Amino acid sequence: MRCADIYFGLPPKEVRKLSYELTLKYNLKRPSSWDENRMAGEDWFSAFMRRNTELSLRAAQATSLSRATSFNRTNVDAFYDNLQKVMDRDSFEPQDIYNMDETGVTTVQRPDRVVARRGIRQVGSVTSAERGTLVTIAFAANAIGNVIPPLFVFPRVRYQDHFIRDGPLSAVGTANPSGWMQDEGFMLFLKQFQKHTNCSVNHKVLLVLDNHSSHVHINALDFCKENGIVCLSFPPHCSHKLQPLDRSVYGPFKKAVNSQCDAWMRNHPGKTMSIYDIPGVVARAMPLALTPGNIQAGFKKTGIYPYNRDIFNDLDFAPAYVTDRPTPNEAKPQDDSNLPETNNNSTSIEKPNSNYDSQHTPNASDVEENSNEAILAEESVQESTTFQFLQPSLPAPINPTPHDNSITNSRTNSPKLSTSDEVFTPHIVKPYPKAPPRQTENKGRKKRKSTIYTDTPEKEAIQKEAEERERKKRAKEMKVNRSLKSKCSKPKGIKKMKTTKKPKVSSDEDEEEYYCLVCMESYGTSRPGEDWLQCTGCKMWAHEACTAGDPFYLCHNCESD
């Protein structure tokens, strides 16, 4: 149960292997078939599940490693600290607290269950195509259950008004080749949001959203600042727990969309659903899913409104156990005695450090003392994965002695030791996974955190980041232009004079681009192979077609001098 709580649940075969390893560790009686298969039998597992009625076989939901580990108490407390700060500062009413998020709808639905003949091997249902085309939809809802008309983002180069002719009332749309939310699309959404909320500097509203790059664009933050929109972001990879729309709205919405797509296919037999039919499907699915009750439940389950920062317990934070360690700015130099020692024969267990372990793992100190046993030769195989599964050693079977009070199994000749001297726990054989220490270097893009983006210090920091990115982008473009110019034909001088050599200019100056002295066209935009002449006086360049074609060209500036 503990392994399932931290999202590293054991499948039936692993449980059977663990049972066999425990019999080796504690020298328990076992059938000979266990030694042959190196695991317990299927009949033992069936009986084990019948004896423990609190256990059941469940289909695990795929959860990314980032989501499982990022939802920890440190990140969540930082979000609620920022939420409490803005709530105390501006005294937002529930109708002024909004959550915004995007979701995707494709033209290929997941069919509903149908009634079919019993015993048939396969039941099919018609879909539009093999692969669907995604359309992004942005919703915003407040804590009392009202919904802003959505924004549709179509995977097209140009947007046309007829794309949303069957969509919800007052809905808007945009288009880009990727079909994902981008800076221009988010600006259009903010204008739609300001229009329907009637927010201003005197009537502020709180917009809680994730930290996607399009949401933290400096132009969007300027618009929010000017119109009284306070933007508060969730911690990275935590929206599956903290975002109201994710918790209680998008699940029913996707089911309603699938049902409406099935109905569309039945009403239009032989036709293929296109992205222009999606707004009509969404318009029919919205009243079924985006109800005031569902929306209010999402805000309540996340503790945003009514405000409740203790809405999550230790079990909710259990998946972050594998990275239960201080953040880089809070980390202290570790003593060598606290680090796990690993060699070819033994591995020490890192003592769990969380409230959950103190409540659910009894006698943790006893477990740690018994973790350095010798391992069987055939079991000394060390796995190398992203997370270090600290695998302690298994002891060799103990031979019975005349004065031993243990019970000997006649089938395996292994004695049964009394368990009064040591604690029986699977943690000794298969400890919980634990992540290695953090790397000191932080490579890649900057990691975000829960932030009030519209506050002046945060907004200025984002503006500096945008300016730095723009400066690097211009420098990269200039470097590429220089590389292309060196490969293309250069302005031709007459008789290979020394004047054909370009003057050296600093790499970070904007004047590095050359312009015609007559028509002011840049050399980078001129036609390939076009001849240029250099002035014999000022050493500047001009199109040969713009001059008289004199080999000893002298520009009009030098002639006037």
pLDDT the model gives residue 52: 95
Amino acid identity of 213?
S
Contact present, 216 and 453 (Cβ < 8 Å):
yes
Split at pLDDT 50, 70, 90, the class of 484 is low
Domains of the chain, earliest start first: 1-51 (no CATH), 75-111+131-320 (3.30.420.10), 523-558 (no CATH)
More confident residue, 422 or 236: 236
Q: What percent of the chain lies above the pLDDT cut of 90?
A: 42
**Rounded to 5 degrees, what angle do the CA atoms 287, 292, 293 make?**
110
Q: What is the distance between the alpha carbons of residues 386 and 112, in angstroms, rounded to a whole number?
A: 38
Q: What is the mean pLDDT of residues 10-21?
A: 94
Which stretch of 132-136, 216-220, 512-516 has the lowest confidence by average pLDDT? Answer: 512-516
Long-range contacts of 220-226 (CB under 8 A, 24+ apart): 220/183, 220/186, 220/187, 220/190, 221/453, 221/454, 221/459, 221/462, 223/187, 223/190, 223/191, 223/194, 224/190, 224/453, 224/454, 225/454, 225/459, 226/201
Q: Residue 206 — φ and ψ, nearest 5°?
A: -105, 125
Q: What is the mean pLDDT of residues 53-80?
A: 90
69 pLDDT above the threshold of 60: yes
The pLDDT tens digits of the residues spanning 424-451 come to 788 888 888 777 666 654 555 566 788 8
The pLDDT tens digits of the residues spanning 490-507 come to 554 444 333 444 434 444
Say whether the peptide bond before residue 306 is cis (omega within 30 degrees of 0). yes
270 pLDDT above the threshold of 90: no
Exposed/middle/buried for residue 46 (C-beta within 10 Å: 0-12, 13-18, 19+): exposed
More confident residue, 367 or 3: 3
550 pLDDT above the threshold of 60: yes
More confident residue, 288 or 386: 288
Q: What is the distance between the alpha carbons of residues 370 and 22, in angstroms, rounded to a whole number?
A: 13
DSSP state of 513: S
396 pLDDT above the threshold of 50: no
CA distances from 401 to 405, 411, 416 (A): 9, 17, 12
417 pLDDT above the threshold of 50: no
β-partners of residue 173 are 152
The pLDDT tens digits of the residues spanning 181-217 come to 999 999 999 999 999 999 999 999 999 999 888 898 8
pLDDT the model gives residue 389: 40
Which stretch of 109-118, 212-221, 450-459, 534-543 has the lowest confidence by average pLDDT? Answer: 534-543
CA distances from 323 to 178, 434, 436 (A): 34, 7, 8
pLDDT the model gives residue 545: 77
332 pLDDT above the threshold of 50: no
The pLDDT tens digits of the residues spanning 376-390 come to 333 333 333 333 343
Q: What percent of the chain lies above the pLDDT cut of 70?
A: 73
Cβ neighbours, 10 Å, residue 159: 18
529 pLDDT above the threshold of 80: no
Q: What is the mean pLDDT of residues 298-307?
A: 94
The pLDDT tens digits of the residues spanning 122-167 come to 888 888 888 889 999 999 999 999 999 999 999 999 999 999 999 9
349 pLDDT above the threshold of 60: no
Sequence-distant (6+) residues with CB within 8 A of 461 are: none
pLDDT the model gives residue 473: 83
Angle between the N-to-C axes of helices 218-226 and 183-197, in degrees from 0 to 180, rounded to the nearest 10: 10
pLDDT the model gives residue 213: 85
Average pLDDT score over the chain: 77
More confident residue, 320 or 50: 50
